[in-house]
Amino acid sequence: MRENAMPGPTSQPDGLAGVRTLPQLLRWRVKATPAAEAYRHFDASSRRWVSQSWREIDAEFELWRRALAAEALAPGERIAILMPNGVAHIAMDQAALSRGLVPVPMHAVDNPDSIAYVLVDSGALLLFIDTLERWQAIVATGQPLDHLKRVVCADAGGLITPDARIVGLDHWLAQAPGATAPLPDVAIEPDDLAAIVYTSGTTGRPKGVMLSHGNVVANVKAIARRLKAEPHDVFLSFLPLSHTFERTGGYYYPIAVGACVAYARSVPQLSEDLKHVRPTVLVSVPRIYERIYALIMQHRASAGWIERTLLDLAIAVGGRRFDARQRHGVPSLLDRLAWPLLKRLVADKVLAQLGGRLRVAVCGGAPIAEPVIGLFLALGLDVLQGYGMTETSPVVSVNIPDDNDPHSVGHVLDGVEVRLGENDELLVRGPSVMPGYWRKPEETRRAKDADGWLHTGDQARIENGRITITGRIKDILVTSTGEKIAPVDLETAILADPLFEQALVVGEQRPFLAALVVLNAKAWAEEKERLAARGQQGGAAERAALLARIAAAVKAYPSYATPRAVWWTLDPWTIAAGLLTPTLKNKRPALERRFADEIEHIYARKANVSPPPPRALTSS
């Protein structure tokens, strides 16, 4: 096994060093900057954005603390939160933490069966839910929910139910006992649980990751030492707070630095909210950049030659400027002269889609295709890839603006140890690594060895503290010819082409790879028009065109990794159908079961598919 040294420590924000638990973090922030803007949300009744200071938000949280204290739950009991992002979600989270209770954040877009499973598995005694209709859908699954003592419904409507456990939020808060002094926080230690966060369940039932106050606070401190957000920064929160990436990076970290968090209204309204809020920092997954990239490429395809030339020049010149900056060099005179015009005509117009003020965008949760990140870096947006897992609270490493290698996931955070195990598996150890999985000791022992090393399941390279993820051990396909391929890498590359909305690469113990894809309806209609104009119509021509596009997308990979067959549809794979996780990752086993007949049909046609070229033989 090979160990790797970590970069030396950097400065810690004043006062944060003494914080040991999440309630302490909030109390420290409220005391430090009581009048500064803390949160911003859209008020539907007045149809305007409303701001709250740290002092005001803490006063609102106090009402929730009192309402929750009236439930007389013991420290360590679980509180399930099934709510979209917003002040109400974090109010319940902060109330639970202050009472020594354990929040169980759940995916607001998950299906009822999965939600019911988490409620039963966690043993939650209180559920905070958005609508009565959703609660009824959960009850309809038939899973036993008798352990729940209280269901607080945010939008109860005309609440009429024989279930005495159910109460509307307004009534629940109104019944909170009053007092003249703030309610003291329950005594909490760093080893006490701060959350049970369930994994997205790509290959089976979700597992509850136990995270302690010490885990999360250590991660927040390490991020604050690495990334320098400022009190004047504005975050736009739209990733679900059930995702540890958003909880730590978009919720607790802004508290640590004193920045404002604006809550997006919804994903469909995200583009409008970006332009109104004009955030300076964004915590996101690759999909938002992929969609903007796809729109740009679609526009380029139909634009005139002047517009295409300007875009291509902006990408080329901007790319050279980025490279020069990372080498601490100076761009050429020609590039320096050309950039102000290209910035005004191209880069500023593209980045205006993200609000026009964005200076840092942290991207994680999945790999981002090279052409996609390359576009934004060239246009002047610092997209910083990072790596982490729910089990590590979650951040392990991240790039920074002045040391940004888009092929890697950055340097390891201070205080985190990494090394490579068998098969180049990345192992992680440190104060942010989970104690284990909730009520799953065997799963814990498989994931975390006796010396405290977490086995991530990801293959990696480590060079001078910088991590490059090279594959996923469990997701490696082995073809019948013995080739080993990481399908997620190919799927990511395919999705960089705006024609493809979703992709699944298959080929385990098969003679070649095949791709199942969901097409963008508009882009596919335009592609078929182009084929028809060339006299190429029908299934064979369409199949050849799709395979050509796929081959171009994966051209950076070996020839044996190029899919030789394709099946396509316009019907998207959904969470509700059980084909995607709530974080929009493919549920590979479920997709392969759903499309088993289509996959068999693909390989039944293998006589009509060109086999991959033979591997070159080398002497040893």
pLDDT at 5: 35
Tokens of 578: 């059980």
**SS3 assignment, position 80:** strand
What proportion of the chain, given as a percentage, has pLDDT over 70? 94
Chain mean position to CA 120: 25
Q: Say if residues 215 and 191 touch (Cβ distance below 8 Å).
A: no
Beta bridge partners of 504: 516
Q: Say if residues 396 and 418 touch (Cβ distance below 8 Å).
A: yes
- Residue 297: partners with Cβ closer than 8 Å, 6 or more residues away: 497, 498
Beta bridge partners of 395: 388
Domains of the chain (ranges; CATH) run 22-188+233-279 (3.40.50.980), 284-474 (3.40.50.12780), 476-604 (3.30.300.30)
For residue range 17-57, list pLDDT tens digits in order.
899 999 999 999 999 999 999 999 999 999 999 999 999 99
How many angstroms separate the first and last alpha carbons of the chain?
25
**pLDDT over 90 (residue 428):** yes
Question: How confident is residue 482, by pLDDT bands cut at 50, 70 and 90?
Answer: confident
Tokens of 28: 């420290």
**SS3 assignment, position 549:** helix
For residue range 316-361, list pLDDT tens digits in order.
999 999 999 999 999 999 999 999 999 999 999 999 999 999 999 9
Integer angstrom CA distances of residue 122 from 151, 169, 263, 270, 347? 15, 22, 28, 32, 48
Beta bridge partners of 174: none
Q: Say if residues 567 and 598 touch (Cβ distance below 8 Å).
A: yes
Which letter, b or e, does each residue of 525-564 get, where b requires 16 or more Cβ atoms within 10 Å of its Cβ? eebeeebeeeeeeeeeebbebbbebbeebbeeeeebbbbb
**pLDDT over 90 (residue 449):** yes
For residue range 259-283, list pLDDT tens digits in order.
999 999 998 899 999 999 999 999 9
- Residue 231: partners with Cβ closer than 8 Å, 6 or more residues away: 33, 36, 257, 258, 259
Sheet containing 514-519, strands listed edge to edge, beginning at the edge strand earlier in sequence: 500-506, 514-519, 565-569
CA distance 88 to 178: 20
pLDDT at 345: 97
The pTM of this model reads 0.83
Sequence-distant contacts of 383-390: CB under 8 A, at least 24 apart = 383/289, 384/227, 384/360, 384/410, 385/409, 385/410, 386/362, 386/410, 387/458, 387/467, 387/469, 388/244, 388/245, 388/364, 389/428, 389/454, 389/456, 390/197, 390/199, 390/209, 390/244, 390/434
Chain mean position to CA 276: 23
Tokens of 220: 């927040």
Tokens of 265: 């209204």
* Closest among 352, 410, 358, 409 to 382, alpha carbons compared: 358
Beta bridge partners of 153: 129, 168
**pLDDT over 70 (residue 9):** no
**pLDDT over 60 (residue 1):** no
CA dihedral (345, 351, 356, 362) in degrees, to 10, reads: -150
Question: How confident is residue 10, by pLDDT bands cut at 50, 70 and 90?
Answer: very low
How many residues are present in the chain? 620
Q: Say if residues 281 and 233 touch (Cβ distance below 8 Å).
A: yes
Beta bridge partners of 478: 484
Q: Say if residues 262 and 237 touch (Cβ distance below 8 Å).
A: yes
Tokens of 463: 């060079």
Question: How confident is residue 199, by pLDDT bands cut at 50, 70 and 90?
Answer: confident
Mean pLDDT of the chain: 90
